[in-house]
Amino acid sequence: MPEFHLRKCSSKNSGRRLIPKWKLTISIFFGVSGIALVLALMYFRWLKKKRTEPTSSSKDDSSLNLSYKILLKATNGFSSNNLIGVGGFGSVYKGVLDENGIVIAVKVLNLMLHGAMKCFLSECEALKSVRHRNLLKVLTVCSGIDYRGNEFKALVYEFMVNGSLEVWLHPRPSSANLGGNVQKLSLIQRVNISIDVASALDYLHNHLQSPIIHCDVKPSNVLLDAEMVGHVGDFGLAKVVIESTDDAKAKMSSAGVRGTVGYAAPEYGTESVVSREGDIYSYGILLLEMFTGMSPTNEMFKENLSLHNFVKEALPGHLLEITDPLLLQEMESHMGTGRGDAGRECLEMVYGIGIACSVEARRERMNITEVAAQMHFIRDKLHAAGFQG
């Protein structure tokens, strides 16, 4: 105390008593607040756990994927009114993006189905590096969590206003247009779409560093835009050929993925490789279907009679008898004119290509470059003869 003018106390004794007191206060302060903090944290954790446990999901609203939200809004909550198709591994919805009004098609994968995830990954892998006017363009991939906390995977494509070739080839009463008369494809339109598909396959097989085998070429996977240009879609079964061997074969991983009955090449039933020739077989069948209007899975095709044999046996004499009645109307209007003969000749050539592509022996099938060249030739011939839209 200053008023006593005493020597400053430097005793170690008193120092020892003073400092612990000061230290003690601080220690107690931090100790107590530390324990309080830990308790508080434990309490909040317990509270949060208790709140989220009944929904068995650890995700709350803030961790929803934005893309999922946008897609939900764009498709009216994935409403059944927006459902435009149900495929092997999921459903396709039509949607409109709010911000720019772009119309999209959203394929939502049903991840409960065995193989759906693999299909999603194949498609992403195949589409990563491709770009062609006759391939369906993927705008984005959405991968996240839906509002129920389940995994959500979707592919977003540009929307094709004129739907799939399947619907055009086999119009159902419900898909007839407003006027009541069935929409039909003209000869030129069919040739154009055949060229589109051949161009897409030629690109995939021969113009990529790692060729892609589509493995599921069929009319429902060919989509038509407003100008009726064909776009090949659905790469769910596609295989990227990594080693560029002469044969461009890709090992078919695990059983089950075999394309679609009627379109899958016969060797796919026994060999465990996919090949360009397999796609060409499917293309050949597609071509025959496009001009005869007959599906390879029609009930009349069983045992020894296939679409391939059916067309082969009808040539050349019964050409018109096997041709799609919807196309025949157009052909008949040209009969007796020079145009009629040109149409007939072209039809015969198309059938010839379809047959050459779908022969049983893999090595004897036509290659797609050659197919595309011949189809172009046929179109030029039809144009020259005066066939129009």
Q: Nearest approach, Cβ of 30 to ligand NAG (angstroms)?
A: 38
Q: Is 107 annotated as a binding residue?
A: yes
Of 173 and 336, which has the nearer Cβ to ligand NAG?
A: 173
Active site residues: 216
DSSP state of 221: G
Q: 282: helix, coil or strand?
A: helix
Of 9 and 226, which has the nearer Cβ to ligand NAG?
A: 226
Task: For residue 258, count other CB atoms closer than 10 A to its CB.
Answer: 16
Q: Nearest approach, Cβ of 354 to ligand NAG (angstroms)?
A: 17
Q: Nearest approach, Cβ of 157 to ligand NAG (angstroms)?
A: 15
Closest to 153 in 3D by CA, of 194, 115, 210, 126:
115
Which residues 6+ apart lie within 8 Å of 177 measured at CB?
A: 183
165/228 Cα distance (integer angstroms): 10
CB 262 within 8 A of CB 285: yes
Q: How many residues does the chain have?
A: 389
Binding site for ligand NAG (CB under 6 A): 63, 65, 67, 142-145, 161-162, 183, 188-189, 192, 206, 226, 228, 303-304, 367, 369-370, 389
Q: Nearest approach, Cβ of 123 to ligand NAG (angstroms)?
A: 15
Phi-psi region of 41 (alpha: psi -120 to 50; beta: other; left: phi over 0): alpha
Helix H or strand E segment including 14:
helix 12-52
CB 195 within 8 A of CB 379: yes
Feature table: binding site for ATP:
107
